[in-house]
Structure 1
Amino acid sequence: MKRNSSFSSSFDITHNIHSITSPYYYSWQKYFGKVFIYWLGTESFLYIVDPGFLKIMSSKVLAKKWGKPSVFRKDREPMVGNGLVMAEGTAWVHHRHVIAPTFTPLNLKTMASMMVYSTRKMIKRWDTQINSGNLEIDVENEIVATAGEIIAKASFGMGGENGKLVFNQLRTLQMILFKTNEYVGVPFEKLFNLKKTLEAKKIGEEELLDECKTFFFGGYETTSLSITWTLLLLALHQDWKNQLRDEIKQVIGNVEELDINLLANLKKMKWVMSEALRLYPPSPNVQRQTMEDIQVNNLKVPKGTNIWIDVVAMHHDVTIWGINANKFKLERFMNDVNGKSNNKMGYLPFGFGGRACVGRNLTFMEYKIVLTLLLSKFNFKISPSYHYSPTIMLSLRPNHGLPLIVRPF
């Protein structure tokens, strides 16, 4: 059978994904530049991949003055309701005020034990499979399931079959929404002990449900995909995998008694994460709607304009990152949190401004815990059965999973 042209073997991965995931935007950019209008059905959108333009525009708008395109508010309601992601104006300020205290360092450390427990459960499953003689593991499926278990425990205090049931139903809903409108995207946030926090703040029952759906969906999606794409990159770059393992041994020591406080000292792991988020941002685009007129140089952006910010395009733009924009180069982030890009608005793995992902520090912690435990236990390489086919399905994901050949280290 003839293989789809978007497939490729593990031996010719270039990371130049924009033309694969968004061929229409990729083509339009060549003709119309980095700022132009296009139509999605009956809705017009201002498409932006110019970080300079975006910087000027965002500097003139307070976070509460950014809205969500009405077409996405209606489409996304079954998934996230009208919680923090979709709220606008004073309602957004209220939701943000209620949720932000959840991400204090103390609360994040409290959640760490759940992450360690669920990751070690996954490791035991891998050990059992490897001992049976089956070395090929679809790590994308495993990582997503583990992240879903973690957020189910954190948000609702539930695990086991109940957590899996909610996880599977929301993932099915995600697929349905994608099929109805393949262009829909969403920024993701995360939350610890959401139900208890919101009840304490007297948020209504419907608002509580909306926030629970928002953070359950966002809670596993962003982190699991960040880890999955990182495992692909480390399988391709064995030298950096070995360097991370050496760093873990030097900084953490005995991972059987993992000291969460030491994770912040894993500098190379932070570089790897930053570069993985640049090449493969889980949230591939950001949507906004202007709630007032905005003047950007000679262009007036009227109130009510839908905005589509193509994060993947900016993260792979050679005018922002140089001629090696599609290369895995950790040195970008060694001494620069913005990866030596020529404009900090060109790097948006968690959105931007006041509406940036409220739970990004939780993502950082979960990422480091999972990778630390996996790298200390296993060695891995890409399976011959792997097909490289990144696709946007609300988030940026591997269309055919990520099968790796895994062996004990």
Structure 2
Amino acid sequence: MKSLFFFFLLLLFVVLVSLKNFSYWVLVVALLSSLASYFINVLWLKPQRVLWKLQRQGIKGPRPSFLYGNIKEMQEIQAKAMKAANFSEYVAHDYTSTVFPYFEQWRKKYGPIYAYSTGNKQHLYVNQPELVKEMNLSVNLDIGKPSYVTKRLAPLLGNGILRSNGHLWALQRKIVAPEFFIDKVKGMVGLMLQSTEPLIAKWDASIEAQGGKIAEIAVQEDLRGVSGDVIARACFGSSYFKGKNIFSKLRTLQKVISNQSALFGIPTLRFFASKQQKEIQNLEKEIESLIWETVVQRGQECSQECSSERDLLQLLLEGAINDMDKNSSKKFIVDNCKNIYFAGNESTAVAISWCLMLLALHPEWQDRIRDEIAQVCPDGLIDADSIHKMKMMTMVIHEVMRLYPPGAFVSREALEDIKIGHIVVPKGVCIWSLIATLHRDPEIWGSDANEFKPERFANGISGACKISQVYVPFGLGPRLCLGKNFALVLMKVVISLIISKFSFSLSPKYRHSPAYHAIVEPGQDVQILIQRYKRG
């Protein structure tokens, strides 16, 4: 917005200098005054009115500056925190003071509810459990995904289910959700086992190359390969090798976009695309072209097959044809393929990486899971039924997702004036809840909230904490992650196979440095020392 304002000022100055007729001067001055008035209203008065509405309800927060809001303060706090950070092999599970230090600093100063701004955009930070619960369970379509954030993610996600609102979101959920119901996911277990076997063989070969002793493994890329292969096979009827180029380019696009912080960014209009923006545009076009090639190929295969079993891509094609025109249907299909490729592949691989990191730190839980696998799989064969019986595994995964949820926030925008609890949220205000803080609140989880203790989930989520609705690694309510069942089952399959074959510990090279790149992931991969497991 600031760049647009100064562009008009420069343009008017050039015009003003070139004019000689007095009446034209008067016209230009009047136009200049109107533009100045408009931008003052957009950049200051309107955001200030919204802030006043929040302040009158007793909501405090850091004082914003003109044009920038609290962005400079956020950047200064972040820089100071990064400078003080001591990234090492020592694992301190509470990473919020390093990754999101401004939120933590303001929370300690202003409480669990406060207001802040980025440019002319007003935000409401809410980490009061009852309000978070109400917001998550709301079925009101007047509250949706923040538009200014999702706009930045548009090249990565299009207008698919992860970033759409209202009627379009409801339509997409209707088509996509059934493909990830638990019965469907159980049918994918065979594919998950097949996709994990090459990883087991690769790691075993690495051990063999070390004389059958200990090998060092960086896990993330291999885990992306597994989750990507499962998605490609189960949902789109192709192997990972066909989708590898798509996954690789999506990962590159994610890294480029993450350099443009959605938390710091000022909404602007730029007339000249930067080098970074051009790279984003080129990657977006390449990804969409590759996905559409896959769609066309799959459509041709489907026309030649007589199988009654339809994969997700076929359902997307049918849903788009039934509900949309030709141009809209193509975008609908491509956008949702991007959503499933990215969310299913990246988030699941990251979650398994965190799981292996914590199990490497706690080998006693490796032993407990092995004993459980031996009990539920006496013949050594893992299947959908045995996966369902793995209670110890479920406890570990719940605890991993409590401490290291890949999704950092529950984020919403008031699309109209709405009421959440006792707070009236004005239209346009973005609401943020930091999941990691909710998952570490000692009043909800106890004094050991920062410790890895899977046993807290022995009696399920409701038995682990005082308010189960604030355990939200997959969200809650209408916006519950559609891939929850897929992610949990895939995590169980991969971890079961790894633990059955290997024992492992953290490598001395590992540096614990969680980072936020659209999701919270290991900043420097997870390196483990792995050896073949031999039952004593």
Tell me if TM exceeds 0.5: yes
Query: What is residue 301 of structure 2 aligned with on the other side?
Result: none
Whole-Å separation in 1 of the counterparts to 2:263 and 2:247: 23
Q: Is residue 397 of structure 1 aligned with residue 521 of structure 2?
A: yes
Listed one character per residue, the Cα deviations across residues 189-211 of structure 1 (whole Å, up to 9, x for unaligned) are xxx93211111223511100000
The answer to which of 208-217 and 80-89 deviates more is 80-89
Contact 1:7 1:388 (8 Å CA) reproduced: no
1:261 counterpart letter in structure 2: D
Gapped regions of structure 2 (runs ≥ 5): 1-81, 265-309, 322-328
Contact 1:155 1:195 (8 Å CA) reproduced: yes
Query: What is residue 287 of structure 1 aligned with on the other side?
Result: 411
1:348 counterpart letter in structure 2: V
Counterparts in 2 of 1:298 and 1:260: CA distance versus 1, 3 Å:
closer
Q: Is residue 164 of structure 1 aligned with residue 244 of structure 2?
A: yes
Gapped regions of structure 1 (runs ≥ 5): 185-191
Listed one character per residue, the Cα deviations across residues 234-291 of structure 1 (whole Å, up to 9, x for unaligned) are 1111111100110011112233x32222111000110100000000001111211123
Whole-Å separation in 2 of the counterparts to 1:143 and 1:376: 17
**Match runs of 1:77-92 below 5 Å:** 77-92=154-169
**Cα displacement (A) at 1:314:** 1.0
Contact 2:132 2:470 (8 Å CA) reproduced: no
2:235 paired residue among 136, 152, 155? 155
**Cα displacement (A) at 1:9:** 3.3
Whole-Å separation in 1 of the counterparts to 2:478 and 2:240: 36
Larger radius of gyration: 2
**Match runs of 1:196-215 below 5 Å:** 196-203=314-321, 204-215=329-340
1:132 paired residue among 185, 198, 209? 209
2:312 paired residue among 194, 197, 214? 194
Whole-Å separation in 1 of the counterparts to 2:140 and 2:263: 24
Contact 1:390 1:397 (8 Å CA) reproduced: yes
Whole-Å separation in 2 of the counterparts to 1:225 and 1:146: 12
Listed one character per residue, the Cα deviations across residues 36-74 of structure 1 (whole Å, up to 9, x for unaligned) are 111233322111111112224445x31534312121231
**Cα displacement (A) at 1:298:** 4.1
Query: What is residue 187 of structure 1 aligned with on the other side?
Result: none
Q: Determine helix, strand or coil for the equivalent of 2:405.
A: coil
Q: Is residue 108 of structure 1 aligned with residue 185 of structure 2?
A: yes
Shift >6 Å, 4+ stretches: none
Query: What is residue 356 of structure 2 aligned with on the other side?
Result: 231
2:123 paired residue among 19, 42, 45? 45
2:109 paired residue among 11, 19, 31? 31
Contact 1:338 1:347 (8 Å CA) reproduced: no
1:9 paired residue among 88, 97, 101? 88
Whole-Å separation in 1 of the counterparts to 2:404 and 2:136: 24
Query: What is residue 47 of structure 2 aligned with on the other side?
Result: none
Q: Is residue 118 of structure 1 aligned with residue 195 of structure 2?
A: yes
TM-score, scaled relative to structure 1: 0.92
Q: Determine helix, strand or coil for the equivalent of 1:323.
A: coil
Contact 1:47 1:308 (8 Å CA) reproduced: yes
Listed one character per residue, the Cα deviations across residues 163-209 of structure 1 (whole Å, up to 9, x for unaligned) are 2111100000000110012539xxxxxxx932111112235111000
Contact 1:135 1:406 (8 Å CA) reproduced: yes
**Match runs of 1:58-69 below 5 Å:** 58=136, 61-62=138-139, 64-69=141-146
Q: Determine helix, strand or coil for the equivalent of 2:504.
A: strand
Contact 1:64 1:93 (8 Å CA) reproduced: no
Query: What is residue 176 of structure 2 aligned with on the other side?
Result: 99
Counterparts in 2 of 1:373 and 1:210: CA distance versus 1, 3 Å:
same
How many residues align? The count is 397
Higher normalized contact order (CA 8 Å, seq sep 6+, divided by chain length): 1
State, as a whole percentage, how many aligned pairs show the same letter: 35
Counterparts in 2 of 1:24 and 1:222: CA distance versus 1, 3 Å:
same
